[in-house]
Every structure is written in C-alpha cells, then in structure tokens.
Amino acid sequence: THFLSALDWIALMLWSLDLIGSFFVGHYVGGFLEMRPLRIAIKYLKSNFILDLSLVLIDWTLVSVQDADVEELGIMRVGKTLRMTRALRMLHFLRLFKVMAFMKDLDNLLRSEGLRTCLGVVKLVVAIIVANHYIACAWYALGDSGAAGDATTSWLRALEATNDDRITFEYRYLTSLHWSLTQ
C-alpha cells in the first residue's frame, strides 16, 4: 500500500542519513571530547560502519525489489525473493542496539529527575506499543495461514469473505492490533 511504501522510504532515508551523520558525531577519549573529523571517521569505520552500511544496503535492495515489477525480476522467482526479503528484514532488529545505546546516552545527559521519570514512562509506552505490534503481526499471520484449523474459519478469511471494498490491509492490520490490545 502507499502508506507502507511511504514508511519504508522514510525509514530508508532516516537510516541513510544516520550512516552519513555518524561520521560527524564526536566521542570521548580519556575524558576529552574528540571532534576532529578524521579521528571520528576512523573510529566509526573501525566500529559500527560495516554493520550500518550492510543494513542500509539491504534496505535499498529491499525497496528496489519491492518497487520492481515481477517481469523486471527476470529469472528470480518471486516467492523465493519474498522469503529472502522477510529474512533480511529480520536483520533490522540489530538497529535496536543502536537505539538502546542512544536512549542510555540520553538518560545519562538528563539531570532532572522529573525528565528521567518522563523518559522512563515514554520508554515503557513505546515498549508496550512495539510488543502489541508484534502480537498483532503474529495474530495476522495466524489468520492468514489458516493454522487455526480450516482456512475458511480463520478470522481473516471470514473478514475477506464479506467482499467489502473498504477492507484494506490497514483495516486488517488495525483489527489485529485492536485484538492484541484487548487481550
């Protein structure tokens, strides 16, 4: 859908800019802030650059494959490509380590106990949202696979059987999310 495609592009731009921006982020060496560009670049190249670059290249590849027509893929089988795409998307979990490190640095910068409490509450709310997203995805996958028995009895098949044109992917996902929140 257009909404999910836009989210893919936004994430792709964010992480691509993060890759470039990481060459300009100083670091502490022996209690002193290192801001010399060459030293910053060398440290980044020795630490997270390979991981960041490979994740960004995977993102660009996935977006290219998703935007390509089936005929343009040529020899590549579509089913195999989609399975590989899902497997490569699992590597995005590696970015959580970068986000967690950022949150820890942010927590260390805050001097106000009230702001630390607010940041803690925000982290908990985000964790609940992420957990419910994964539960919703699992519930959607269960309904899509028909693993709960006969494929005609899954909640997703019953919803699709109504032949309502308003039932979009977003509606089905939000239904899954609603189920995950109410359980």
Q: Is residue 14 predicted with pLDDT exceeding 50?
A: yes
Residues 6+ apart with CB under 8 A from 94: 51, 55
pLDDT, position 158? 80
Instruction: Say how far apart CA 143 and CA 137 lie, in whole Å.
Output: 10
Q: Mean per-residue pLDDT for 7-22?
A: 86
User: For residue 45, what are its two tokens?
Assistant: 């190249």
Report in angstroms the alpha-carbon separations of 137 from 48, 72, 104, 124, 140. Answer: 30, 30, 28, 20, 5
Q: Is residue 20 predicted with pLDDT exceeding 50?
A: yes
Q: Is residue 73 predicted with pLDDT exceeding 60?
A: no
pLDDT, position 40? 92
Q: What is the pLDDT of residues 94-114, one digit of tens each?
A: 677 777 777 787 788 888 888
pLDDT, position 12? 85
Of 42-56, 77-91, 135-149, 159-173, the poorest mean pLDDT is in 77-91
Mean pLDDT of the chain: 79
Q: Is residue 38 predicted with pLDDT exceeding 90?
A: yes
pTM: 0.54
Of 4-13, 41-50, 67-76, 101-110, the poorest mean pLDDT is in 67-76
Instruction: Say how far apart CA 139 and CA 118 lie, in whole Å.
Output: 31
Q: What is the pLDDT of residues 130-177, one digit of tens each?
A: 889 888 888 888 888 765 555 457 888 887 777 777 788 888 888 889
